[in-house]
Structure 1
Amino acid sequence: MTNRCDQCGRKFRGEGNHTPTRILCDDCNATYMGHAAGLIAGGGIGNAISTAGWYQRIRKVTKPKH
């Protein structure tokens, strides 16, 4: 089954990543999770943005190759 990401509109296969209000592709989910981790860490908006970038780079390196 093909779905579309609610954030970027890109098509993807499978169920996607469910948030409370959206279904996201892997890349958008990495950004979302990075923002959440940065905010939870207590560093404010700047820390959320930098943590999201860090998390995206880590996900790309560790993403399994199909």
Structure 2
Amino acid sequence: MKKDKLFIRTAMTIIGMIILGIGVFLTIKVNLGFDPASTVQLGMSKHLGLSYGNCAVIFNLVF
């Protein structure tokens, strides 16, 4: 029973992260602006020469 709960929670987390990623992508593409965390990630990507996605992963792993 506990493994089933863990699987469902993990699947829901992954689905939520995918939806969140699509939302951030669309916000960037239509130039609506950024939320504070995305602004830090965008600054990191421009300053370090990495892609926005890589900086987002690094930022999320650290914080």
Normalised TM-score (structure 1): 0.30
Mark the structure with the bigger radius of gyration: 2
Normalised TM-score (structure 2): 0.31
Choose between structure 1 and 2: higher helix proportion. Answer: 2
